[in-house]
Structures are given as C-alpha cells and as structure tokens.
Structure 1
Amino acid sequence: MSSDIRVGLIGAGYIATWHADALKATSGVSISAVCDLNEAAAKGLADGYAARAFTSVDDMIDAKCCDAVHILTPPHLHEAIAIQCLEAGLDVLVEKPVAESATATRAIQAAAEAAGKSFHAGHNFLGLPSYERMKKAMKAGEYGRISTAEITWALPLGPLRSGPFNLWLLREPRNLLLELGPHLMAFGCDLFGDLEIVHAEASKPTPLPGDDPRPQAFRILARAGLVDITFTISMVETVDDRSVTLRGSSARARLDYAQDVLVVERENPSDLVINPLRKQLDLSRQHMWQGVKNAGIQLASLNTKNPYGQSFLGMDAAIYGALAKGKPEPRWAGPSAIAVMQALDDAINLLPAEILAVKAPAVQTRKPKPTAMVIGGTGFIGRELTRRLVAEGHDVRVLSRGRTGPFPDLPDNVETVGVSLHDLDALTEAMKGIDVVFNLAKALETTWANCLINDVGVAVRIGMACEKAGVKRLIYTGTIASYDMSNPYSEITESTPFPADMTTRNLYARSKAECERKLMKLHTERGLPLVIARPGIVVGAGGPLQHWGIGRWHGAGAVRIWGHGRNILPFVLNEDIADGLVRMIDAPAIGQSFNLIGDPMLTARDYFDAIHDELGARIRVSPGNLNAFFVSDAVKYALKKYALRRKGVIRPSLADWKSRAHFSPFSNNQAKTVLGWRPEGNKAAFIEKAITKANLIGC
C-alpha cells in the first residue's frame, strides 16, 4: 500500500531475516530495500520480499525508496550510518548494541532530535508477549513490593571456543558485554528505570588463538530505588537459562524469555498439610498451560511464530504503530537506549583494566612472503592448517572476509587479506606468487540455486583463478557426507562413487559433490592440478561440543544421535587433518582424492561415555529413529511447499537420513599409502586430544 511506512534493511546477515520476517507481518509497513556490501547477499534477501537491492547506503538514500531503516551492520558501524540516515530524513531502528558507548548513543539521539526523526533501539525481547504481561502485573502490584530481581543470560557462545575469531564481539573483551548486556539492561531499565551499577566482575577466561584471553562470564550488581538487581551472563556450555526473576512481597515471577513462558509462584491460605501440595499443583497447572499454549501457537503458525520471532513482531508492532501516529515508542526510543548504554558503560568502567586489556599482537620483524594460501583459514580446520604450514616453514596468505585473523602471534608468517570469492580478477591477483592453494570454503545455503552461486560457483572460480595465476596445486576439501553411507556392509574407499542421483541428498552433501565434479572436469579437460580431501567427523581443540555430525543437539545437555549409535564413527583429529593436507602439497597425488578418516575407535555412545569419564559431564543421549526423522521431514516438506508456498524446498531421501549415522565403514589405506599419513592410532591418546584437552565445556 502506498500509505505503508517503507523500510530499508542495512545489512543482510543472519539477524536481517528475523527483522524482515517481522516487518512483513507488521501492519502498515513494507520492506522496500536491502543494502549490503555483498551484492549477492543483498539481492538474495531483497528478492524474497520484492524489495530493491543496493550495495551503498548513499545509493539507497538517493533512491528515495525508504521512510525508515533498520541498521543491522556490525556495531562499530552503527553510529556513522545512523547519523547519516537521520540527517537524510529517515527514521532509524538500530540493532543492539546501538553503539559502542553511551556517548555515541547520545550522538545518534542528538542527530534524531536535530532532524526531527525517531531513533529506536532493537531491544527485541521487550516486545515478547509474556514479558509485557509480567511488566503489567508488576506495575499493578500483583507481585507486591519488589525487593530483588535476577536477570540472566546463560547460553553457550560457540565462537569463544571454536571461532570464527574475527567477529566484532571477540575483538575486545568489552565487546562480549556490549553484545549480550543490552538484552539484560533493557529489561532492568524498562522495569525499574535508571540503574546504579555498584559492582561488576568477569570470570572464566578462555584463550583465543595467540593466547589472548576473553571472559566467558560476567556478574553485575545494580540498584534501582529499593530494588537490588543481579545481572548474570554465562557463555560456557550450560543449560539454557535466559530468564527474568522478580521477587516481591506477594509472589515470585519467573519469565523464561527464550521460551515465552511466565510462571508466578504465590502463597496460599491453605493449612500446612495442603499448602505445599496446592502450591505445586498451581505451578504444574501454569507450566502445563504455557506448554500447551505455545505448542498450539507453533502448530497453528507452522513454526513461524517462535518466541524469538514473536519478540520482533511485538517490537515492530509497537514502534510502527506509534510512528504511524507521529511519535516514538518510549520503551525503545533514544532516551531508553541511552539509559541502557550508560548502564553498560558504568559496568565496564568497574571491571579491572587487566580484564579489558587486549593482548598486543607480536611485533612484526619482516613482511610475510607467502607461498601457500588458505581460503577459509579462520575456520576450525583452517586455523590448524595455517599453523601447521608455518611450523613446516611456509609463509601463508589467508583469505578472509576481513583483514584480521586468529594469528596475532604469527605476524612474520601469516598475512590476512580480504578478497571477494565472487571476484575472479581479485582472486587471481591474490594468488600471485602462491604455489599451493587450500580451498576450505563452504557455503551452508538453504536453496539449491544459492548453492550453485555461493558454493559451486565459488569453487569453480577459485579453480579458474589458480589456472590464471599459475598455482602448482589446488587442494580442495570436500566431505564424506557426499557418499551414501546407509549400508553397514559396504566399505567406502576413494573408488566408491557418489550416488548417481544427488537431488535427493541434503544440500550440503549435494553441493560439495557438485563442486568436486566441476573441479575434476577442469582437471581432466584443462589440467587443473587438483587434489581432493574428504575429512571425516573432525574433533579436537577448538572444535564444538555440539557437533552436528554426531546427532541433533538440544542445548549442551541433550543429544539425539543419528541412529542407534552403536556403529563405529569416522572420527578424525583436527591436527591429523592438517597433517594430511600438508602432505598433499608434494605427494604424487594430482587428480586423486583422499578420505581423511582416523582409525576405527569410537561409536557415538563411546564418545559420550568418554566425555562423562574425562570431563565429569553426563550428556543425555537418546537414539534417533532415522525412519521417524524421514517421515517427520516429509511432513515438514509438504507444509513448507504447499502451505507456506516456499520455493526451492528439498526432501532428503531415507538413504540420506541413514547416511547421517555413518553406518558404512571407511578405509583410510589410500591416504596412508600415497601420503604416508598416520592418524592417531592410540585410543587413550585420541580421547585425550579429542575430549580431555579440547575445552569442550569451556570451564
């Protein structure tokens, strides 16, 4: 409708989809533009909402196609973009953290006031229906006089242990608090007003590559009037506890804002015998009602109204409902954003200087002279490979989205360059002087069309750049997931073909197989010096606890393994993968592929028993019925395709589901014979490296 508020999204990353879906469902709003430096990302998101795509904020503003924008870029860019858009006459909503300090937030608000436009903060959880009920009940006195509050964010943060380490939130210790703290402080400020921060501490440091520590926990004490408030952030592997607890003279209310569940515990006037029974029955009734209600919402909406999504819906409905009336919504408006950021600034100022310090990178004594390139060098395997190459005497050029990487201790040997994988000329230029290129890049797309662009197209382009630059060897990492591993009586070797029809395989397996096919065509027809590596289930230091190659995880404490879990899995240590890849540089292996699988050792159940024995952490393990997974997936496929009318939906076959259990045994003889590769063969040593010393739990 022409009367709709036209909204542009600046930034097309993960969070943009949540904003876009909520805006699409908000009355009186339409998405008119998407802007991102990555043209493919901007266009991919824009096409789904019939919006225009831009790669420049200036161009988007000049097009005059927006009345408002949501700024969804990395936080260090928020202030400048927000002020630019406000001065151009646009209302702005800025994703949290709205800036890197309260001073910067005040500058945004000043620009909004000068332009006569609105500035809102993306504190989405304030829009959650159950939170609004909690706040309304508290203000009405239903909980009595509030004396204390506990506001908690306890959720594992994978990048702290397994990367990627070049994210904004890991650049400085304070960024972790700036990233997660706004959720908690927004609750505190909205419920109680301005906060007086009286204590702040950080704990559980974990080293990033280069021995640069980051805290995994924060505890902040505050006061607001007569209310004492405890803010807790925990990022180790823990049970998900994202909650707001209010203790009042009449009741205790606990909001699980991750699940949109509000439960209120009250006293009752029954006698001493009936009282505890009645109290527990009341709590049981509330939990039952909340569970049934939320399940009904998910079923009726076909899982499009989960709690996180509803929080964005509530936020957008309130903000744009107020804007339609010509005024900002106070809960999210500039003054509230300033109060939140001031509380965070005050907490940061109370933290010890040594906690906030970033370890200075090693002093460079010479410029690297790279002869090896690692594409995907900031990932789990890429980091280990890069360090192994340096240990073997190679200087390395790492291709990354940015110009920083997880190698601050290797300035003489490693350089990180930012090159688009969609730019053939730039790739060719970056490969000058390079003898060997390792392509570890992968794109986890949701449609086959995007796989062809961002995975297959990229792999071919890298191959063509290697040809043009005269690279002596391209080592490409495929995946064993491309095999049909459903038959426990069929051993897989490098001569085992992929299925003739890959259209019924999951997108990752299908896409990697197509990458291999295209690259082998370049090898056979044009002489591309290609070697292919197919790693197994890679484990070790820097790897995740919640490894999806083993099963479907439900938080850190429960996993539903693929299948019965009694078959030997193709585990392999990350350090052994790096060793195998390095051996491919000089081995007589051009035109060959190698399954980099460790020696047979552990089943899925053995692996989790070892975690319990070594770390003292019992994970709840359940077998996964693969036939049931297949049937459930078929139902979801039908709903997505016919009810939600989504394009490009795929339905993996039963063999694909069974392949996830890795039923087929593997042979690693070819890698041992041709490469001289010797993966860890001692079970006790393997467990020590894969589990005991791998920092899986984070504490």
Structure 2
Amino acid sequence: MSDIRIGLIGAGYIATWHADALKATAGVEISAVCDVSAGAAQGLADAYGARAFTSVAEMINAKAVDAVHILTPPHLHESIAIECLKGGLDVLVEKPVAESAASTRAIQAAAEASGKRFHAGHNFLGLPSYLRMKAAMQRGDYGRVSAAEITWALPLAPLRSGPFNLWLLREPKNLILELGPHLMAFAHDLFGSIEVLHAEASKPVALPGDDMRPQGIRILAKAGDVDVTFSISMVETTDDRSVTLRGSSARARLDYANDVLIAERENASDLVVNPLRRQLSLSGQHLREGVRNAFVQLSSLNTKNPYGRSFRGMNGSIYSNLADGKPEDPRFSGSSAIAVMQALDDAISKLPAEILETAAPAVQTRKPKPTAMVIGGTGFIGRALTRRLVADGRDVRVLSRGTSGPFPDLPDSVETVGVSLRDEQALSDAMKGIDVVFNLAKSMDKTWEDALQNDVGVAMNIARASQKAKVKRLVYTGTIASYDMSDPGTKITEDTGFGDDMSDRNLYARSKAECERQLMQLHQSEGLPLVIARPGIVVGPGGPLQHWGIGRWHGAGAVRIWGHGHNILPFVLNDDIADGLVRMIDAPVEGQSFNLIGERMFSARDYFDAIHQSLGARIRVSSGNLYAFYASDAVKYALKKYALRRHGVIRPSLADWKSRAHFSPFENEKPKRVLGWSPEADRAVFIEKAISDANLFGF
C-alpha cells in the first residue's frame, strides 16, 4: 500500500512541529503545503520535498493529497475543514478545532456526510508518559480517583509585550479556547463527560486602548465521581503543565511538558522507616524518568523532545488506524473534539459578562494623513516610536501583516496597512506622501540563504521602494550584536568596524551587518537618504522579563548570564530609543550611524539585584561559562554537519559567544553630541522605568 499523502494548510510556527512529526511517522509523506503566502508555502514545501499551493481549492483539485492538517488561525478552521471533507480528504484540525462546539459539530456532520475522518489535534494525549498514567489508573494502581488538578501555568508574553494582533488576543474568550483544549482533552479522555460548575478569572492586564484580558483562569468541574480543577496561569511563573490524580492508593503527577510521570504511594513500614521509603521511592522514580528522557534525547540527537514526541504519538495512532482500516482512536475523534469544545463553551458561559467584554475602539474623527511610516511598528521599539511620533504631532502609517495593530486608541493619527515587504511596487505605493520611513523589521532565519532573502533582500526592497517614492529619510535599525564585543580592552564607537569575515557569527548579527553594508553601498552609489541606528539592550514598559540579550533563560525564575555577569551592559530605555530615532528625521546626518546606548549603570547581576529590590522577586542567577557554550556549540555543529548531514550549519565561534556577554564597553558620545540625545542618566529613575513600572511579571 502506498503512503498516505498529507497536506499542511498553514505554514506558520506550528506547521514545522507537525511536519517533523509526520516525517518520522511510518506510512505517510508530506506531499503539499498550502498558505496564502506563496513564499511561506514554498519555503516549507521545499524543506520537505512537497508541492506548494496558495489556495485550498487548488490543492484539492490537483489531487495532491489524501489528508490534511489544518494549521491556520482558529477562526478559519471550520470553513477549511468542511471544504476539505467535501473534497474527499480526511482532516486533522489543530486545537482549538473551532471557535465553538456548534462549529465543531458542523465539521463532524461534514465528516459523516463525506465518509471521511475528522481528527482533533489534541497532541499531548499522544505522550508516552500520559499513556502510562492512563493505563495505571485504569488498572486501579492509584486506587479510586476522587479528584484531579489539571494545570497550564506558563508565561504568555504577548499579553504584556505583543504582538497584539494575534487571534488569541482578539477576545478574552480566545485565551480559554487557545489553552483550554489541552486541559479539557485530558479530563475527557480520563474520566468522560465534563460538567462545568464554576469559572473565574484574575490578574487582568491592559492591552493597548485599555482593553483588558485575564491572565489567570480557574474552572471547577465534575466528571463522574471525580472533582476536577482546571487552572490556567499566563503571568511570569514557574512552568507547571501537569495532571495530578488524587487516588485512594496514590497521588500521581504527570508533567506533560517534560514527559515525566511520578506516583507517590503509601507503604506499610513503621513510622520511622515509612518517610524514608516514601522519599526513596520518589527519588528513584525521578532518577528513572530523568535517565529515560536523557537516553531518548541522546539517542535521537535531541530530535525527540516531549512536545515533538506528543505529535509523533498522535500521528502514529491516527495514521496506523487509518491505513489498517481500524476505527479512529477515541482520543483524537470528532466526538471527543465536540465534548472538549462543549466543556470550553460551558466554562466561558460561567465567566462574568464583564470579563468577556472587549473595549470599544476609539471613534475616528478624521482620516490620518501620515508623513511617517514605521515598518515593524507592532514590535517593542516600533510601538514606542509610533506613539512618540504621534505625540510630536505626526500621523503614522504602520506596515503590518494584517490591517489591525496595537493602536486602537489612536484612530485619528495611526493607520495600519498590510503590504508584503517583498513587493517593491506595493511598498513604494504605500510610501506616497511619506517623508520618513523607519525600517525596524527583522527576520529570524535558520540558514544564511534564508537570511539573504528574508532579511537582507527585504531591507533592500524597502530601500529601493523609498527611493522610488522619493522619501526624504530612511532610518534603518541594525544591532550592536554585529560588533565583535569579546575584548574588554576594546572600546566600541561608531568608527569601530564589523569583522571582514562574519561567516562564523550568529545569523542575526551577520545578517544585520550585511543589511548595513548593502544599504550604505546604495547610499554611496545612488544617494539613498540613509541613517543607521543600533540600539543596545532595550528595556522598559512592554519589554520582556526573559530578555535573551542578558542570558539564557530557564523559565521565569532562573537565568544563566552570558559570562560572569560583572561587566557593565549597554542597557537603554525604550523611550530613549524612540527619542533617538525621532531626532534622526531632520538632523543633517545622512550616511551616518549611531549606537544608541544608555549611560553606563548596570551589570547583569546589578540588573537582577534591582529586580529583587524593586519587585521582591529573587531570580536564580548563574554564570554562563562561555567556553562551555562554545564547546557545546562545536559538538552540535559536528553532529548536524556530519551525522545529520544538514546544509548551511554555522561554524561555531568563541568570539561570537564572548560577544553575547558584551565585554567591550560602548561610547555613546556621538549621538549625544550630534543629535542632542540625552538618555536617562539618573539610576533611580532608570530603575523605575525599566523595572518598577515595566510590568515584568504581569501583575
């Protein structure tokens, strides 16, 4: 029998997880990728030897697939699923499978009418450790289970720092629809029908325009004789994604984020030995789970992490049953999807009405007349810059992937337009009437070829469009990461060059440097009205707690600093960056570059001490041995290049790792002298703006 041909509809972040799991699943092949973005579809299709399509109808008519995984934003799931089912395809729909139980029933009805299968993407039910927990419970190993606590506690950064135009932030209920399916799917699969008794929300946070969203949700329910508590926490918190079963013989806890199952049981020893045996049992189980997971990671060269294994388990069950003509697995069936979505509908209905309300957008009294354009205006720096431009009396056109942005309170002054950054003519048309363009866009790529296309190519597109539209000033934001910052004895100024050979630097640093080189060449040869800004480590309201410019984070409570952490870091406030960028509009600085670095105040350790003193939160800080990072990088490089035969692997560099520690001090005299820029110099005020008022923890 030939392999089942799978099409992926949607080429975003989650598509790669599905694609990698399908590649490892016997009896299937990825034969097509469909996305409204031709570039995104082609890029993912090329990586897996598939055909690219830009419409679902085109893919169906081409008879290129037997089944599809629908990975688009949830509000599109129902229509696409029904279209594919009517087209004779089996479907798997990523969670949430729809926006309501009614929509889910419509998908199931279409599946029944077409004789095809509708599967729900409840991937965590495919974890090996979950299957062990379920089997042990059904055997009675935990005794009679009376209660369960199912938790999703993981920071959701977009709530506090954007992007704010995501589907899950459009309405408060979308947060439950996005995260709740994981929790409800566990409960339904373990215990059956769920009766929701109560729901409450807490820790509200304001999106732009004072549009409130809850960051904590608690749901009380019953499933048969089992009392079930569902908890969702999205503030900066210790990662706790778990299922705890409280039985008469044991308390079992599944850490489904790490594929770890531990059961705490009673024993019949006397009062002296009893606590010792209990703890020895727990330590032995933790050792067993740790060794098992370490073996899985080592033997697979880190390609079987728990999240990836959950997709593999789901796919293995779905497609082996489909190929063998067996009934569908109840865990992933349409009927289970309906039950899960109905429980979510019931939970949402139990929340107070005011929790579910969205703020009414401000009424527009005039149409904006933009003279400034911000590309990347929905990002951290872009939002502050846009608001500063408006405060200065300028109307702004923000380029975004969509037509909505984080400025609902500024309808008279800000308009958001969706234009492809690869379409030079469309960019040029969008720049008509614009005096200054700020290019804050960046691309996070995995290969140099992709970076040349998605970052360097886009930067040049924007530059040529600016010339065609006769824009008076193009301000491009590079990065200080492009410098070699490995030597404490080298002071960096704007005259400090980048390395001649940057092939061993990280892709972001190398790509940004190449963007600068080509843009400056265009300035010199064709008069591009260019100014370059290189921000430092940017902090302030809207910025993340887990800032990777400082170190490698392990959840919200632990960070490994790049290096020893005692050298002064180039911190700068976001508002000061916006001020510096605005000063570049009219200053006679064409063809120049500026390092926007704040005054020398804090080392990494000073910064975390300030967080502790200001907010009462002690973050566990460890030094990062850069030689160890480099050695680990070298091993990974060898494995990827010679064992996995991957193309475009970056050669490791000790200087690159040392540069992450920002050992070289910066001089910020030029922007102060030439632009009249005055970054915050008062330490107490800086702490207030960067930490106390920055809502780093979400509450």
Report the TM range for the smaller structure's normalisation. over 0.9
Whichever residue aligns with residue 419 of structure 2, its letter is V
Mapped to 2, the partners of 1:527 and 1:213 lie a distance apart of 47
* Correspondence for 1:31: 30
* Correspondence for 2:425: 425
Contact (CA 8 Å) 2:367, 2:412: kept in 1 or not?
Answer: yes
Contact (CA 8 Å) 2:640, 2:646: kept in 1 or not?
Answer: yes
* Correspondence for 1:241: 240
In the TM superposition, what are the counterparts of 1:627-638 in structure 2 within 5 Å?
Answer: 627-638=627-638
Whichever residue aligns with residue 105 of structure 1, its letter is T
Mapped to 2, the partners of 1:651 and 1:661 lie a distance apart of 19
* Correspondence for 1:509: 509
* Correspondence for 1:452: 452
Mapped to 2, the partners of 1:652 and 1:634 lie a distance apart of 6
* Correspondence for 2:498: 498
Mapped to 2, the partners of 1:264 and 1:325 lie a distance apart of 35
Let me know the Cα RMSD of the aligned residues. 0.7
* Correspondence for 2:173: 174
Whichever residue aligns with residue 560 of structure 1, its letter is R
Query: How many Å apart are 1:43 and its aligned residue?
Result: 1.3
* Correspondence for 1:389: 389
Query: How many Å apart are 1:478 and its aligned residue?
Result: 0.2
Contact (CA 8 Å) 2:482, 2:513: kept in 1 or not?
Answer: yes
* Correspondence for 2:473: 473
* Correspondence for 2:20: 21
* Correspondence for 1:586: 586
In the TM superposition, what are the counterparts of 1:79-90 in structure 2 within 5 Å?
Answer: 79-90=78-89
Whichever residue aligns with residue 583 of structure 1, its letter is R
Does residue 697 of the first structure (1) align with residue 693 of the second (2)?
no
What whole-Å deviation, never above 9, does each CA across 1:476-509 have from its counterpart, x for those lacking one?
0000000010111111110110111111100000
Instruction: Give the length in aligned residue pairs.
Output: 698
Match of 1:282, SS state, is helix
Mapped to 2, the partners of 1:61 and 1:457 lie a distance apart of 33
* Correspondence for 1:230: 229
Whichever residue aligns with residue 377 of structure 1, its letter is G
Query: How many Å apart are 1:63 and its aligned residue?
Result: 1.0
Match of 1:331, SS state, is helix
Moved more, 168-177 or 52-61: 52-61
How does the TM-score come out when normalised to structure 2? 0.99
* Correspondence for 1:461: 461
Mapped to 1, the partners of 2:47 and 2:400 lie a distance apart of 27
In the TM superposition, what are the counterparts of 1:132-211 in structure 2 within 5 Å?
Answer: 132-211=131-210
* Correspondence for 2:666: 666
* Correspondence for 2:438: 438
Match of 1:215, SS state, is strand
Query: How many Å apart are 1:325 and its aligned residue?
Result: 2.3
Mapped to 2, the partners of 1:113 and 1:146 lie a distance apart of 35
Query: How many Å apart are 1:651 and its aligned residue?
Result: 2.2
Mapped to 2, the partners of 1:414 and 1:42 lie a distance apart of 31
What whole-Å deviation, never above 9, does each CA across 1:460-488 have from its counterpart, x for those lacking one?
00000000011110000000000010111
* Correspondence for 1:336: 336
Mapped to 1, the partners of 2:347 and 2:476 lie a distance apart of 47
* Correspondence for 2:103: 104
Contact (CA 8 Å) 2:637, 2:652: kept in 1 or not?
Answer: no
* Correspondence for 1:221: 220
Match of 1:646, SS state, is coil
Whichever residue aligns with residue 58 of structure 2, its letter is D
Query: How many Å apart are 1:511 and its aligned residue?
Result: 0.2
Does residue 46 of the first structure (1) align with residue 70 of the second (2)?
no
Moved more, 42-51 or 95-104: 42-51
In the TM superposition, what are the counterparts of 1:292-303 in structure 2 within 5 Å?
Answer: 292-303=291-302
Match of 1:695, SS state, is coil
Query: How many Å apart are 1:42 and its aligned residue?
Result: 1.1
Mapped to 2, the partners of 1:215 and 1:403 lie a distance apart of 25
Contact (CA 8 Å) 1:154, 1:238: kept in 2 or not?
Answer: yes
* Correspondence for 2:537: 537
Mapped to 1, the partners of 2:104 and 2:66 lie a distance apart of 21
* Correspondence for 2:349: 349
Where has structure 1 moved over 3 Å in runs of 4 or more?
none
What whole-Å deviation, never above 9, does each CA across 1:184-239 have from its counterpart, x for those lacking one?
00001111111000000010001111111110010000001111000000001111
Match of 1:513, SS state, is helix
Mapped to 2, the partners of 1:260 and 1:547 lie a distance apart of 27
Match of 2:332, SS state, is coil
Query: How many Å apart are 1:652 and its aligned residue?
Result: 3.2
* Correspondence for 1:314: 313
Whichever residue aligns with residue 313 of structure 1, its letter is R
Moved more, 328-337 or 441-450: 328-337
Does residue 276 of the first structure (1) align with residue 275 of the second (2)?
yes
Contact (CA 8 Å) 1:151, 1:244: kept in 2 or not?
Answer: yes
Mapped to 2, the partners of 1:116 and 1:10 lie a distance apart of 21
* Correspondence for 1:379: 379
* Correspondence for 1:366: 366
Does residue 568 of the first structure (1) align with residue 571 of the second (2)?
no
In the TM superposition, what are the counterparts of 1:547-626 in structure 2 within 5 Å?
Answer: 547-626=547-626
Mapped to 2, the partners of 1:554 and 1:258 lie a distance apart of 13
Mapped to 2, the partners of 1:284 and 1:404 lie a distance apart of 52
What whole-Å deviation, never above 9, does each CA across 1:530-566 have from its counterpart, x for those lacking one?
0000000000000000000000000111000001101
Mapped to 2, the partners of 1:384 and 1:651 lie a distance apart of 36
What whole-Å deviation, never above 9, does each CA across 1:114-148 have from its counterpart, x for those lacking one?
11000001000000000001001111111111100
Mapped to 2, the partners of 1:391 and 1:170 lie a distance apart of 26
Whichever residue aligns with residue 341 of structure 2, its letter is M
Match of 1:204, SS state, is strand
Whichever residue aligns with residue 96 of structure 2, its letter is P
Moved more, 325-334 or 478-487: 325-334
Contact (CA 8 Å) 1:39, 1:53: kept in 2 or not?
Answer: yes
Structure 2: tracts of 5 or more residues without a match: none
Mapped to 2, the partners of 1:652 and 1:589 lie a distance apart of 37
Mapped to 2, the partners of 1:518 and 1:283 lie a distance apart of 59
Match of 1:153, SS state, is strand
Contact (CA 8 Å) 2:148, 2:245: kept in 1 or not?
Answer: yes
Contact (CA 8 Å) 1:253, 1:264: kept in 2 or not?
Answer: yes
Mapped to 2, the partners of 1:536 and 1:496 lie a distance apart of 15
Contact (CA 8 Å) 1:323, 1:329: kept in 2 or not?
Answer: no
Whichever residue aligns with residue 404 of structure 2, its letter is T
Mapped to 2, the partners of 1:13 and 1:644 lie a distance apart of 24
Match of 1:321, SS state, is helix
What whole-Å deviation, never above 9, does each CA across 1:619-659 have from its counterpart, x for those lacking one?
00001111111111000111111111111110231111100
Query: How many Å apart are 1:306 and its aligned residue?
Result: 0.5
Mapped to 2, the partners of 1:419 and 1:121 lie a distance apart of 33
Structure 1: tracts of 5 or more residues without a match: none
Match of 1:244, SS state, is strand
Whichever residue aligns with residue 448 of structure 1, its letter is W
Query: How many Å apart are 1:49 and its aligned residue?
Result: 1.1
Whichever residue aligns with residue 310 of structure 1, its letter is R
In the TM superposition, what are the counterparts of 1:394-405 in structure 2 within 5 Å?
Answer: 394-405=394-405
Whichever residue aligns with residue 452 of structure 1, its letter is L
Query: How many Å apart are 1:47 and its aligned residue?
Result: 1.1
Contact (CA 8 Å) 1:29, 1:320: kept in 2 or not?
Answer: yes
* Correspondence for 2:130: 131
Mapped to 2, the partners of 1:651 and 1:343 lie a distance apart of 50
* Correspondence for 1:65: 64
Match of 1:79, SS state, is helix
* Correspondence for 2:263: 264
Whichever residue aligns with residue 169 of structure 2, its letter is L
What whole-Å deviation, never above 9, does each CA across 1:317-365 have from its counterpart, x for those lacking one?
0000111123322210100000000000000001111100000110000
Whichever residue aligns with residue 593 of structure 2, its letter is S
What whole-Å deviation, never above 9, does each CA across 1:397-423 have from its counterpart, x for those lacking one?
000000110000000000000001111
